[in-house]
Structures are given as structure tokens and as C-alpha cells.
């Protein structure tokens, strides 16, 4: 009786723990894969913000959701000469007028809609870099993109003949994020789910072992036989 109770308990525990682990694994993996991506920086055009070889996390967003100042991963147009995704900073969105450069003090500054913008992220404080003046009205649904290392970046400035060098917002794959809290929680849930799944499998094996174990046979005492003639 005790073995049967124990077997049922193991079976129920195996089912509950295993299913919970499977749900966590599938849910966390699906959410992580659907909402985030991880890449390595392949060049130096985003220094000093991101250096070559840095690992970045990017959230999958629609191009219409990005704003000025965001760093995005995007599929470059054919004029860039290669198919690998690039990472640049959004300087202008649809409707903006982006111009370079205006002197603000001793430093040249990029202006957006006539106002010099603060760019503390540019390498060496050089907002110009290439010394190629431009004045672009960004079409709706498109983005004007620049690298943070302006002297070493293939970006919108070098493709002005193609809609002012702008890139379609539909080409955006995601927005780079430094907030690792949500991805870390998803990874933790994935690991926890894996542990629970393994525990559930272990309990299931224990349940099968208990079911297959035969109860020990109890020897029956023979009835005493009376001597004949008594």
C-alpha cells in the first residue's frame, strides 16, 4: 500500500514539475528569440560607444518606433556594397532637415531642423569627420544614419544621391539596448525551466522504477498435518 502511494506521488510530481519546466523553456526561448537578438560589433565606426568585438543586445522593433539618438541594426542598401547588417545612430527621422555643419563655439555641429544637436558620443568630439557638407530633408518613412566615429564610418553622408543618403525604416532589424534586465530574466527562466524539466524526468524514472518493482512474496506457513489414526 505504501509503495502504491509513493508511486502515485512520484508520478504526480513528475508530471507537474516536468510540465512546468517545459512551459518555462518553451515560453522563455520563444520570447527571447522573438524579442531580442545578440550580435558582435564587426568594425570601429561606432567608437567610442561600441568597439570592435563588443557583444551587443538589440530588441526587435519596427523602424517606425525608433527615435533620434537610437542606435539601430539595419540591412544596408545595395550601394553600401555588402549584405551584412550595419549598426549606426539615428540622427534624423522622416520630416527632419539634417545639415552639416554649423560652428558652435570652436566645434562644428550637426543641426537638425536648424538647431545644433548635442552629441557627446562622437569620437574625439568631431561631429563632422569627413568634411563633406550636406543638407538633407529626410523623406517620410526613412532615416538619416551616422556612425559615432565620423571620420571612419560608411553612412548616409556617402550615399547622398540615393534619397539624400537615407535608409528605409523598413530596413531596421532592431534597436541596440544597454538594458539587460529583461533578457537576463528570460535567460534565468530558460535555465530554471531546464532544471525543472530534468528534475521532472528524474522523478518520472523513479515513478517507473517503483511501478516495476514487485512486492516481496510472503512465505505461507503450511497447516499442521495430523498423524493418521489419531
Going from the C-alpha of 52 to that of each of 21, 191, 194, 208, the distances in angstroms are 38, 29, 33, 53
Fold of 34-182: Umud Fragment, subunit A (2.10.109)
pTM over 0.95: no
| Segment 127-183, tens digit of pLDDT | 999 888 999 999 999 999 999 999 999 999 999 999 999 999 999 999 999 866 666
194 to each of 185, 186, 200, 203, how far by Cα in Å? Answer: 14, 12, 10, 14
Model confidence at 223: pLDDT above 60: no
119-138 residue pLDDT tens: 999 999 999 998 889 999 99
Amino acid at each position: 500500500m505504501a509503495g502504491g502511494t509513493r508511486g502515485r506521488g512520484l508520478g504526480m510530481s513528475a508530471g507537474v514539475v516536468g510540465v512546468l519546466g517545459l512551459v518555462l523553456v518553451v515560453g522563455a526561448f520563444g520570447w527571447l528569440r522573438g524579442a531580442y537578438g545578440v550580435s558582435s560589433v564587426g568594425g570601429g565606426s561606432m567608437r567610442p560607444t561600441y568597439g570592435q568585438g563588443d557583444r551587443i543586445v538589440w530588441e526587435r522593433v519596427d523602424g517606425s518606433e525608433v527615435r533620434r539618438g537610437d542606435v539601430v541594426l539595419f540591412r544596408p542598401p545595395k550601394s553600401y556594397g555588402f549584405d551584412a547588417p550595419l549598426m549606426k545612430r539615428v540622427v534624423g527621422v522622416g520630416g527632419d532637415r539634417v545639415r552639416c555643419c554649423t560652428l558652435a563655439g570652436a566645434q562644428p555641429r550637426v543641426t537638425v531642423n536648424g538647431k545644433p544637436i548635442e552629441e557627446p558620443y562622437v569620437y574625439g568630439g568631431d561631429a563632422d569627420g569627413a568634411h563633406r557638407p550636406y543638407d538633407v530633408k529626410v523623406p517620410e518613412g526613412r532615416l538619416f544614419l551616422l556612425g559615432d566615429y565620423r571620420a571612419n564610418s560608411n553612412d548616409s553622408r556617402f550615399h547622398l544621391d540615393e534619397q539624400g543618403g537615407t535608409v528605409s525604416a523598413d530596413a531596421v532589424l532592431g534597436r541596440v539596448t544597454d538594458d539587460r534586465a529583461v533578457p537576463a530574466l528570460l535567460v534565468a527562466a530558460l535555465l530554471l525551466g531546464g532544471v525543472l524539466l530534468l528534475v521532472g524526468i528524474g522523478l518520472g524514472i523513479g515513478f517507473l522504477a517503483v511501478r516495476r518493482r514487485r512486492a516481496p512474496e510472503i512465505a505461507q506457513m503450511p497447516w499442521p498435518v495430523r498423524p493418521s489414526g489419531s
